[in-house]
A and B are shown apart, each in its own frame.
Chain A
Amino acid sequence: MKEGWKELPIGAIIKEAGSSIKFETGDWRTRKPVLNKEKCINCLFCWVFCPDSSIIVENGEMKGFLYSHCKGCGICAEECPVKAIEMVKEEV
């Protein structure tokens, strides 16, 4: 059941840390990044420059994109030193 206003905490406190992750911003995208794993050197510049924490890294290895939240700005593709990321038109 959805919480009503009586269940809301007093003082506009938000009890759950990082709850914004439930709000998906991926549908803002008009272009999407695509990774060419063969070219990738795992420098992780894409990770450090992504405004939306949408680069998935596991144990220091670039694994792809969090498409549910990536807004398609294209900074990762622009900053990639080996051009391993390509921006393609988002299909609806």
Chain B
Amino acid sequence: MPFDLKELSKEKDLFAPGHRACAGCGPAIVMRQIMAVAGKDTVVGFATGCMEVVSTIFPYTAWRVPYIHVAFENAAAVISGVEAAYKALKRKGKINKKINFIAIAGDGGTYDIGIQALSGALERGHNFLYVCYDNQAYMNTGIQRSGATPLGAHTTTSPAGDVIPGKVQWRKDLTEIVAAHGIPYAAQASPSHWNDLMEKVKKALETEGPAFINVLAPCPVGWYFSPERTIKIAKLAVDTLFWPLYEVENGKHRITYKPRKPKPVEEWLKEQGRFRHLFQEKNRWIIEEFQRQVNERWERLLRLEEASL
């Protein structure tokens, strides 16, 4: 069943305006779409990162649900504690309604700094949802490379020039790393396909046990594009197969959206200033390598899906 925007828009936004995110912020759109589904009976645990910095500048908060800010590395550990406390209260009969527990962090707080806390929480099997909004670098501290930054991207710590052509490594495949924990639900989503994202959030919250969603969140400042293009660029990432929309439910892969005519990855790259140098003659090979990696991963995903049938 598709989500009805007319119904959703009747509820008060749980992520209030007045937060200090940049104009055209991709992660802020992701927050709104998640909270529209999660509803007010939700506790949010938040790692340090862009969305934490812009949403809770003392004495203001953009959150209309209980919210805890913790360090960069332990969002998953803290939400585990909150969930354990809830279970104890429930056992004592002091609380009986269903509450959603959501930990949110950026790619820095998930791919790099928070991965051990996340891995531990998944292994212990707490009933929570972990959302990673992946804007592919440490944007809030000034665009430093992270484990999520793609090959060839210019960042301030992988500057494109005569020495290196942007980042020289490929990115981690975090969704697969998380799915390898054998948790009941892991998925990858994009705000451009909002209905798909919302359905995944709903499914994840209904799941008993740990769930994880990795959401692509374009950043106009760090990816160097005009702020009105945020959603277009998220959509292109999906249509070029760079960011496949899929889910892994109890070990079974399912691709939730297959572009009818996949576009060459070049079309996504050329929209962003961080890849501009790749179009110089001497760097063209990186685009070819990029395309090769994207194709390889997509083929692998198709095979995984086939094996799940």
Interface of A with B (CB < 8 Å)? 8, 12, 14, 16-25, 28-29, 42-45, 47-54, 57, 59-60, 66, 69, 71-75, 77-79, 87
A44/B5 contact (C-beta < 8 A), A17-B63, A51-B21 known: yes
Instruction: Tell me the nearest residue of chain B to A47, going by C-beta.
Output: B9
A75/B227 contact (C-beta < 8 A), A51-B32, A69-B17 known: yes
What is the minimal beta-carbon distance from A85 to any residue of chain B, in angstroms? Answer: 11
Closest A-B pairs by Cβ, 3 of them: A60-B6, A74-B228, A20-B18
A17/B5 contact (C-beta < 8 A), A28-B23, A69-B17, A73-B23 known: no
Asked if A52 and B33 make an inter-chain contact with CB atoms under 8 angstroms apart, the answer reads no
Instruction: Tell me the nearest residue of chain B to A19, going by C-beta.
Output: B60
- Contact residue range for chain B? 35 or more
Instruction: Tell me the nearest residue of chain A to B54, going by C-beta.
Output: A20
Asked if B5 and A18 make an inter-chain contact with CB atoms under 8 angstroms apart, the answer reads no
Do most interface residues of chain A lie in helix, strand or loop, or is the interface mixed?
loop
Asked if B5 and A73 make an inter-chain contact with CB atoms under 8 angstroms apart, the answer reads no
Q: Which of B144-152, B179-187, B229-237 contacts its partner? A: B229-237
What is the minimal beta-carbon distance from B290 to any residue of chain A, in angstroms? Answer: 26
Asked if A49 and B23 make an inter-chain contact with CB atoms under 8 angstroms apart, the answer reads no
Asked if B20 and A50 make an inter-chain contact with CB atoms under 8 angstroms apart, the answer reads no
Asked if B60 and A14 make an inter-chain contact with CB atoms under 8 angstroms apart, the answer reads yes
Convert B6-20 into 0s and 1s, putting 1 for each residue whose CB lies closer than 8 angstroms to a CB of A: 111110010111111
What is the minimal beta-carbon distance from A1 to any residue of chain B, in angstroms? Answer: 16
A79/B231 contact (C-beta < 8 A), A19-B60, A21-B17, A51-B28 known: yes
